[in-house]
Structure 1
Amino acid sequence: MNFPVLVTGGTGTLGRHVVPLLRDAGHPVRVLSRRGGPSGAGVEHVTADLSTGAGVEAAVCGTEIIMHLAGGQKGDDEATRTLVRAAQRAGVGHLVYISVIGADRVPLGWLHTKLAAEQAVAGSGLPWTTLRAAQFHDLVLSMVRGMAKLPVVPVPGGLRLQPVDARDVAERLVELALDKPAGQVPDLAGPTVYPMADLIRGYLRAAGKRRPLLPVRLPGKAGRAYRAGDNLTLHGADTGTRTWESFLDGLGL
């Protein structure tokens, strides 16, 4: 019997790429979200809330693989613990989690919750796989688009990013989910490391905008961590194929 793959966050930036890839591989998919949605063509939408636990056990029941893609700026650790408890009771065969490069090195609150979520998955007693990825192109676009609305664009000095395309992450995650549990796997980052100023200039060129750039200093421990490149994986990481420039070209700005 081909059990459904449960995908949390299946309607988000990453999930929208993961779900069709699973379907193309011949797997029925169960998408967990707080709002639900119309089911069809091998995709079942179920309503559940990871923050309260409502509906989670029913959503997990009968699945063999869980891909935990849902996330936010807070509460990821508690949501993951809720999912883990339901998965333990259901005897799930493979729990796959997407985290963020630097979760164990950059002192920011939301990254602390990512690390705690990783630890909940690893300590669950279930077969598991965790992939840390760099910032998605979509997130970087949202950042620089907002910054470019200002008459003068602030540029955090020393900040470098290695953005990765969500499609590359989706492809890797589906490969991992349909393979044997592998524990902590190599990070996945984009093919190029960019100073923040270059990412902003690339967006401005693509959008046909002109803005002066103003260097600013990131304060505190987080600023030191970013300047040290603790949000990067420069060695021993897998890399995607799609660059920031090709992502921008595809948007047709």
Structure 2
Amino acid sequence: MSTILVTGGTGTLGTQVVARLRAAGHDVRALSRHSREYPVDLMDGRGLDAAMAGAEVVVHCASNPRGGDEVAAGHLIDAARRAGTVTNLVYISIVGVDVVPLGYYKVKHRVERMLLESGLGVTILRTTQFHDLVATVTETVAKVPVVPVPLPKGVRVQPVSVAEVAERMAELAVPAPAGRVPDMGGPEVYTLVELGRAYLEATGRKRRVFGLPLAGKAYAGFVRGGNLAPQHAVGKITFADYLAARP
């Protein structure tokens, strides 16, 4: 069994990755600022050397849409080099980071390049949006005091289960790096408006949802489907399944 370090180990994806790796018998170090055993701050690198010591695999799930991913990745790469034991750094990315010019996507793409150019063994998995993200977007917009609820017109999404992504990440967390592996998408493609309606209906709210045209290159990239991977629709859990399983 391997010693595996998981950044973002207390997050939505990281928690499930950690659980699967531990169930498989690995020695897993789940990093966070508030961890008693391995307190780590990726923004300044504090605690990374101690956490990285002896690790063979690093699964990098930590990410912040508000910024700092490149800084965090730089500290992680430097610590992995110093440790000298890391043979595979597994990174979760997003389908379309190279074709949809959204600020957060651009950062994720730059982190991909940093890893690939680091000289370390690297595995990169791009996935479509999580079911949870689609639900969060709809929930956030639904709180705006506007009736009906506006969602971006013409934007299609292919939501995938966090649990299924976690299973795939755990499979990739082996000593041998695989480079960029095939993308992973959910089983179905719907417009964001359609999924917004389904979410509000499932949560018992009767509000009409309509498509609102937006502007900008990022929006155009989404409308073109740059965020989709229909040829890699390997997920099994549908958005309806996800809604049915929610409390």
Contact 1:154 1:215 in 2 (8 A): yes
What corresponds to 1:72 in structure 2? 64
Deviations 1:75-112 (A, max 9, x none): 11121111011101112111100011111111111111
Question: What secondary structure does 2:118 align onto?
Answer: coil
Deviations 1:130-166 (A, max 9, x none): 0011111111111111222233200211101101110
- Show structure 2 runs of 5+ residues with no match: none
What corresponds to 1:163 in structure 2? 159
> What is the distance in 2 between the residues matched to 1:15 and 1:214?
34
**Which of 182, 189, 193 is 1:197 aligned to?**
193
State yes or no: 1:87 paired with 2:80.
Answer: yes
Q: CA deviation at 1:214?
A: 2.9
State yes or no: 1:58 paired with 2:50.
Answer: yes
What corresponds to 1:131 in structure 2? 125
What letter corresponds to residue 83 of structure 2 in structure 1?
A
**Which of 218, 222, 227 is 2:214 aligned to?**
218
- Show structure 1 runs of 5+ residues with no match: 38-44
Distance 1:179 1:55, change over 3 A: closer
Larger displacement relative to structure 2 (202-211 or 161-170): 202-211
Question: What secondary structure does 2:25 align onto?
Answer: coil
State yes or no: 1:109 paired with 2:103.
Answer: yes
Contact 1:8 1:32 in 2 (8 A): yes
Root-mean-square deviation (CA, aligned residues, Å) is 1.3
Distance 1:241 1:179, change over 3 A: farther
Report % sequence identity: 46
> What is the distance in 2 between the residues matched to 1:137 and 1:76?
22
> What is the distance in 2 between the residues matched to 1:227 and 1:238?
19
| TM-score of the pair, normalised by structure 1 | 0.92
What corresponds to 1:245 in structure 2? 240
- Which runs of structure 1 show a deviation greater than 3 angstroms over 4 or more consecutive aligned residues? none
What letter corresponds to residue 236 of structure 2 in structure 1?
T
Q: CA deviation at 1:179?
A: 6.2
Contact 1:3 1:62 in 2 (8 A): no
Question: What secondary structure does 2:211 align onto?
Answer: strand
Q: CA deviation at 1:24?
A: 1.2
| TM-score of the pair, normalised by structure 2 | 0.94
State yes or no: 1:120 paired with 2:114.
Answer: yes
Q: CA deviation at 1:50?
A: 0.8
Q: CA deviation at 1:203?
A: 0.6
Deviations 1:211-232 (A, max 9, x none): 1223211211011111100111
> What is the distance in 2 between the residues matched to 1:183 and 1:155?
36
Contact 2:57 2:175 in 1 (8 A): no
